Amino acid sequence: MTKLSVNINKIATLRNSRGGDYPNLINFAKKIQSFGADGITVHPRPDERHIKYSDVYNLRPVVYKEFNIEGNPIKKFIDMVIRNKPDQVTLVPDAESDLTSSAGWNTVKHKNYLKEIASELNSNGIRTSIFLDPELKYIEPLNEIGADRIEFYTEGFAKNYKINKEKAIEPYTKCAKLINEMGIGINAGHDLSLDNILFFKNNIENLLEVSIGHALIAESLDLGIETVIKKYLSYLK
C-alpha cells in the first residue's frame, strides 16, 4: 500500500487570510490522522505565507504518524528540522519568490551541496528525500548524495494526463525502474488528485508515499460543501 501524507499548507493559508486561528491547524492535523491518513506534510517558506515556523514546533507533539517537512535547506530551515526531528525531510529547491514548487533539483550541479545536507540530516536520524524531475541524468548522483528517497515532481504528469496519460507517465516509469534498482525509495507529489492518482500508483512500482495538499483540500470543499449548506439551511428555517 502506498502511504498518504496530507499537506496542510492550504489550511494554514485559509487561517492566515483572516489573521486568527480558525481553522485551527493543530485540530486539523489530529483529525486528518484520526481519519486514517498515514502522515502530515508541511512546507514552510521563508515568508511564512502559509505554514509558519512556529507551526512546526506546535505540530511536532501532536503528529503521531509520519511527519514530513519540505523546504529549501537554508540555515533557518535546517536548524528548525534538526530541533524538531521529523521522520522525513524533503529537500525542495524553491526560491523565496516561488508561488509553489516549480522544479526538482539538478543533482549533477548541486551534488556536493545535497550530499552535505543529507549527511547532516541522516546523522540526526532524519530520512532524506530529494525532490526530483523525472530525468535519468539526475538519478545517477543519488547514491553518492546519500538520499534515502526521492520525491517525483509530478506537475508534468498531471498537466498531460488528460491529453495522453500513457505518454505522461512514461518518463516516471523509466526513472522509477532505475531508482528501484539503486535501492532508493520513491515518493511523489504535486498536482496529484483523485482524477489521476490511481493511474500513477498502478504504473510506478514500489511507490512508497504520496504527499497531497492543494487538490485534496479543494476536493474536500467540492465533496463536502453540500452537507454544510444543508446544515445552514436547516438552522435557518
> What are 52-71's pLDDT values in tens digits?
999 999 999 999 999 999 99
Position 101 pLDDT exceeds 60: no
Give the total number of structural domains in the chain: 1
Q: Are strands 149-153 and 185-189 parallel, antiparallel or unpaired?
A: parallel
Position 10 pLDDT exceeds 90: yes
Predicted confidence band at 9 (pLDDT cuts at 50, 70, 90)? Answer: very high
Predicted confidence band at 180 (pLDDT cuts at 50, 70, 90)? Answer: very high
**Helices 9-18 and 25-34, interaxial angle, to 10°?**
150
Q: What is the pTM of this model?
A: 0.94
> Identity (one letter) of the amino acid at 17?
S
> Identity (one letter) of the amino acid at 157?
F
Domain CATH number, residue 105: 3.20.20.70
β partners of residue 4: 210
CA 157 to chain centroid: 16
Predicted confidence band at 103 (pLDDT cuts at 50, 70, 90)? Answer: confident
Q: What is the mean pLDDT of residues 93-105?
A: 69
Q: How far apart are CA 52 and CA 45, in angstroms?
A: 8
- Give catalytic residue positions: 43, 70, 190
Residue 113 lies in domain: 3-236
43: helix, strand or coil: coil
Q: What integer pLDDT is reported at residue 102 of this predicted model? A: 61
Q: What integer pLDDT is reported at residue 47 of this predicted model? A: 87
Position 97 pLDDT exceeds 70: no
> Which long-range contacts does 175-182 make (Cβ < 8 Å, 24+ apart)?
175/132, 175/134, 175/135, 175/136, 175/139, 176/152, 176/204, 176/205, 176/206, 176/207, 177/205, 178/136, 178/139, 179/139, 179/142, 179/150, 180/205, 180/206, 182/139, 182/142, 182/143
Position 85 pLDDT exceeds 60: yes
Task: Name the residue among 172, 64, 169, 72 with its Cα closest to residue 114.
Answer: 72
Predicted confidence band at 46 (pLDDT cuts at 50, 70, 90)? Answer: confident
Q: What integer pLDDT is reported at residue 96 of this predicted model? A: 61
Predicted confidence band at 121 (pLDDT cuts at 50, 70, 90)? Answer: very high
Q: What is the mean pLDDT of residues 71-75?
A: 94
Task: Name the residue among 49, 51, 55 with its Cα closest to residue 97.
Answer: 49
Q: What integer pLDDT is reported at residue 95 of this predicted model? A: 65
Give the chain's mean pLDDT: 95
Percentage of the chain beyond pLDDT 90 is: 94
Q: What integer pLDDT is reported at residue 94 of this predicted model? A: 79
